[in-house]
């Protein structure tokens, strides 16, 4: 069932990595399904994922994870984060971050 309507034939549902969760509900004859999980796409201009740390409090921005509370998607390069963005723990400006190796 989807959207209150029962679908009796095979269906394919694609949910992008930046969309919310998809909910499937069994109809009157049950539910059969396969779930495939693919990693999010890697930004083509980036060879190495950056990890940036605040020099004042050690808050870490991991490019591979992004920062969901501020709607920064996974694989967003540091250069694409607005200059007005601040450290989420101490409020330091973006200029107070340095790249670290993990």
Q: What is the pLDDT along the chain (102 residues), one digit of tens a residue?
A: 667 777 777 777 777 777 777 777 787 878 777 777 777 666 665 567 889 999 999 999 999 999 999 999 998 999 999 999 999 999 999 999 999 987
Cα–Cα distance for residue pair 83/78, rounded to 1 Å: 10
Model pLDDT, residue 22? 74
Task: Indicate the pTM of the whole model.
Answer: 0.52
Going through 1-102 in order, the beta strands assigned E by DSSP cover 51-54, 60-62, 97-99
CATH assignment of 51-99? Answer: 2.20.28.10
Q: How many CB atoms lie within 10 A of CB 73?
A: 14
pLDDT, residue 61, reads 95
Q: How far apart are CA 11 and CA 17, in angstroms?
A: 19
Domain ranges of the chain: 51-99
């Amino acid at each position: 069932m989807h959207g209150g309507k029962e679908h009796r034939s095979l269906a394919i549902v694609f949910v992008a990595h930046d969309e919310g969760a998809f909910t499937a509900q069994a109809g009157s004859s049950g539910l059969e399904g396969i779930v495939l999980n693919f990693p999010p796409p890697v930004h083509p201009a980036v060879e190495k994922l950056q990890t940036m740390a605040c020099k004042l409090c050690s808050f870490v921005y991991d490019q591979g994870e992004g920062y969901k509370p501020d709607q920064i998607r996974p694989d967003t390069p540091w250069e694409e984060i607005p200059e007005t963005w601040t450290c989420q723990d101490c409020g330091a400006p973006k200029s107070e971050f340095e790249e670290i190796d993990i």
